[in-house]
Amino acid sequence: MEKQELRNRAAQTLALFVTVLFVGALASILEVVAPNAVTSILLPIAGLLLVFGLGAGLDVLVLQVLVALAGGVVSAWLLLTKILE
């Protein structure tokens, strides 16, 4: 095997381990903090910032979408792990 192939394989393996670590950590955080509540709070904040003409509203909106996506992934993860118990 070439060195570049080994580097690529090592990077893929590290990415997989970090992904599992991230989902596990996020799952334990989201068991305490409900992502629906966070997204419900961030959406009106983004709307108000945009109504008042502040560009930061788009940043808050992006954050809200990312929290919603992460919450959905972690909720699916928790559902699958709780079903298997």
Q: What is the pLDDT of residues 32-64, one digit of tens each?
A: 777 778 888 888 999 999 999 988 999 999 988
Structural domain that includes position 20: 3-84
The residue that leads in pLDDT, 81 or 49, is 49
Provide the b/e sequence for 38-47 (b: ≥16 CB within 10 Å): bbeebeeebe
Residues whose CB is less than 8 angstroms from the CB of residue 33 and which lie 6 or more positions away in sequence, other chains included: none
Q: Does residue 21 carry a pLDDT above 90?
A: no
In 3-state terms, what secondary structure has residue 34? coil
Give the count of domains, the chain: 1
Q: Hey, is 1 helix, strand or coil? A: coil
The answer to whether 39 touches 64, Cβ cutoff 8 Å, is yes
